[in-house]
A and B are shown apart, each in its own frame.
Chain A
Amino acid sequence: MSNRGIRNLFIFGSLFFFAIFVALTVDTMKKVDKRVPEITEEVDAGKKLWHKYDCIGCHTILGNGSYFAPDLTKITVNKPEGYLEKFLVNPRKVKPSAAMPVLGITPDEAKKLVAFLDWVSKVDTNGWPPKPVLAKYSMPQVPGVTVYEKYNCKACHMISGVGGTSGPDLTHVASRRSDPEWHKQHIRDPQSVVPDSAMPPFPQMSEEELNQLVDYLITLK
């Protein structure tokens, strides 16, 4: 082929592929609104604050962004009521080990940001992030672990690095609290033993489940 021929192939071929790309874009734009929840005014206000505070300078969202701090795609899932709102205003007050600075976010702004993050958590992402397939091998196979999982304690608590961070780490909880009766009381009604606890009570747990769970907890030395 002559150089001119290859050049024309380059130009028209590229335009051809670009045209397909534009067509797919039009189709995508039509479809994406059905894959996300409604965008309320609060969500939009939250997104504007997301940009204002340059959150993406440290975090990723939908897996894209900076790689310095946790991905926030699913951050609102299973968080205790009001936890994130407080965290955003003053991270270290809620979680002493937090590396995030105080940015001057007001309580009202925090609410909007959480609304935005909650919106993101409900986007249909084709199954991303995936469930950790090896997680089950890192826990001992005892009945208490089944209960721990059934009531989703790991949403807030961490054991050996696995789990959430909005509640205290339980890896060595038994060295702090070894009394099974204290644990039973605490799980049934947290505020009765820790007055300002943010943990929800679990009255729905059966007596047997409670015993199994506490048997497991007191092994965590």
Chain B
Amino acid sequence: MKYESQKIAQNFYTFAVVLFLVQVLVGIIAALQFIWPDFFPLKFNIIRDLHINALVVWLLMGLMGATYYVVPEESQSELWSIPLAKFQFWATVVAITAVVLGYIWMGFDPQANKYIAGTLLLNEGREYIEAPRWADWLIALSVILFLINNFMTMYKSKRWTGIQGTLLGGLTFLALMYLPGMFYTKSMVKDQYWWWWVIHLWVEGAWEVIAGALLAFMLMKVTNVERHVVERWMYVEVALVLFTGILGTGHHYYWIGTPEYWLWVGGIFSALEPIPLLVMVWDAFRTTRTHRVVSNRLGLFYATSHAIFNFVGAGLWGVIHTLPQVNKWTHGTQITTAHGHLAFYGAYVLLVMSMIYITLPLIRGAENFNTSRGYRSFWWMTISMIFIVLTLTGAGMVQTYMERLVGLDYVTVKANYNLWFWIFRAIFGLGFLYGVTLFVIDFFKLGREPVEAVATEPSETTV
């Protein structure tokens, strides 16, 4: 770490890591509710709102932290304003805490979610963007302050690099794509149409661009690869992401009441979306192979795993159900859930974790840290996630066959045929929780443990 202001990244990482644990804890409650719907005082909808909102928020916090680390380094200057960054951080924490308390309140008293001046007080009732409108404005404000801070840093140093330009471009796109979720439409068709602008153009647009920029940064940081080479491939990747991903939004416009031409547009463009993700995998492997100087093996290990599981989860598990001929049968089944889990894990959970493992040791001044817990946490999480996704995929295949082809009732399939899948999913969920716990412990202990622990590094030699 070269600049004092990069330390602010730690605040964001800490909040992110805590929310990650919360996300997985409530995820396990949700998994058990598939087996016993009534066992917990809060109903499934509230638990799920917490699960998916915690996910989105902690990933955003992680990406913000990562950006606060990258931008000073790339601009070769201190951050424009540390007080602003601190204010932005605390404002976000307060807003998010208020939203969470609101969900819980609504869980105990659904009537508390009242319309006030035309908008809902506690929960907007729209998936992923449940946060009420007043919170939307606070979140938007926080993101704007964050962007201003980083742009000013770059602007004042006059040192524009491809990596930070692309990173901030992706972040600006992200901020803009929050806006289509912030108005009411009377038509449910238009409601879902704009809603997908937010959801799809985030995860298959803006966030993938950010991932491309951060992957380039990480490869450069841990190997001695030349900047112009990583930046070149980064441009190729992010260009292909947006060329395919923007019109690929059409894969959500097959069956919601929108015109038929979306079957063509969405089918063709989304089927090409895995290509840039494959280029990223190749990029990571080529760099590792041709540049033997590696300063942080665990960091590189995570970054490469991110590239691989981004391709598998988003690319492969996405493309299997993206053509309209297939999607007609699988739409809205557990196949979607399987894909959602592996895509978010591979593309963004591992991305934020790899950024943490690459930058946190530098922030804490502990270039040599004990990596064994980091590897163990990776294997616990990844193997558990693979099995979670396989059980969900199995449940999805049974559901598609029984419900969509044979015509059985939804509840019959869920309660009888899929029961064992729910049981196994919950068990693997506990394995995942164990992995996350190891990671959280590692996060707080990294660089703060006594030196003896650092000396023995069994897993270092196995990789």
Contacts and interface: CB of A to CB of B under 8 A. Distances in A.
B238 interface: yes
B254 A128 contact: yes
Contacts of B411: 70, 97, 99, 165
A28 B253 contact: yes
A48 B45 contact: no
B405 A32 contact: no
A194 interface: no
A52 B255 contact: no
A115 B257 CA distance: 18
Contacts of A219: none
Contacts of B195: 64
B221 interface: no
A123 B187 CA distance: 10
Interface stretch (A54-62, A178-186, A209-217): A54-62
Contact of A14 (B45, B236, B242, B258): B242
Interface string A62-73: 111111111100
A165 B402 CA distance: 16
A39 to B, nearest CB: 5
Interface in A1-21: 3, 6-7, 9-10, 13-14, 17-18, 20-21
Interface string B324-360: 0000110111101100000000000000000000000
B273 interface: no
B193 interface: yes
A66 B127 contact: yes
B110 A125 contact: no
Interface string A143-161: 0000000000000001001
Given A51-B125, A57-B45, A103-B110, A64 B192 contact: yes
A84 interface: no
Contacts of A164: 409
Interface residues of A, number: 75
A58 B47 CA distance: 10
Nearest to A63: B332
B412 interface: yes
A67 B406 contact: no
A18 B246 contact: yes
Nearest to B194: A25
Contacts of B416: 161
Contact of A6 (B38, B193, B236, B328): B236
Given A35-B259, A68-B34, A158 B409 contact: yes
B113 A54 contact: yes
B159 interface: no
A29 B114 CA distance: 30
A116 to B, nearest CB: 8
Kindly name the residue among B115, B235, B337 whose own CB sees the greatest number of chain A CB atoms within 10 A.
B235
Contact of B332 (A53, A64, A124, A162): A64
Nearest to B257: A123
Contacts of A137: 406
A141 to B, nearest CB: 16
Interface string B6-50: 000000000000000000000000000110011000011110110
A66 B48 contact: yes
B44 A58 contact: yes
Contacts of A114: none
A55 B125 contact: yes
A115 B205 CA distance: 36
Interface string B220-264: 000000001001100110110011001101001111111111110
Nearest to A35: B257
Contact of B189 (A25, A32, A53, A55): A32
Contact of A29 (B190, B246, B252, B255): B190
Contacts of A161: 402, 408-409, 412-413, 416
A129 B110 contact: no
B188 A24 contact: no
B404 A132 contact: yes
A130 B329 contact: yes
B126 interface: yes
A69 B37 CA distance: 11
A123 B254 CA distance: 13
Contacts of B329: 130
B460 to A, nearest CB: 35
Contacts of A52: 113-115, 120, 125
Contacts of A130: 328-329, 404
Nearest to B47: A57
A176 interface: no
B255 A3 contact: no
A112 to B, nearest CB: 13
Nearest to B340: A67
B238 A10 contact: yes
Contacts of B111: 104
Given A10-B242, A24-B261, 7 more contacts: A3-B162, A3-B231, A13-B242, A32-B259, A54-B45, A65-B332, A127-B255
Interface of B: 33-34, 37-38, 43-46, 48-49, 106, 110-111, 113-115, 120, 123-127, 130, 162, 186-193, 195, 228, 231-232, 235-236, 238-239, 242-243, 246-247, 249, 252-263, 265, 328-329, 331-334, 336-337, 402-413, 416
7 interchain residue pairs of minimum CB distance: A57-B45, A132-B407, A51-B125, A63-B332, A128-B255, A135-B407, A10-B239
14 contacts: A3-B162, A7-B162, A24-B247, A32-B259, A51-B125, A52-B115, A62-B257, A66-B48, A69-B410, A70-B409, A125-B256, A132-B403, A137-B406, A161-B402
